Structure 1
Amino acid sequence: MLLLHNERDEWGLPGGRLELGEAPEECVAREIREETRIDVDVVEIHDSWMYHITVANKDVFIVTYGCLATTEATPVVSR
Structure 2
Amino acid sequence: MKRDEIMKELIEIFQDEFDDESLKIDEAMTPEDLEDWNSLSMVNLMSTIAAQFSINFNMGELRKIQSVGDIVELILGRK
TM-score, L = length of structure 2: 0.32
| Structure whose CA Rg is larger | 1
Higher helix share: 2
Q: TM-score normalised to the size of structure 1?
A: 0.32
Higher strand fraction: Structure 1 or Structure 2? 1
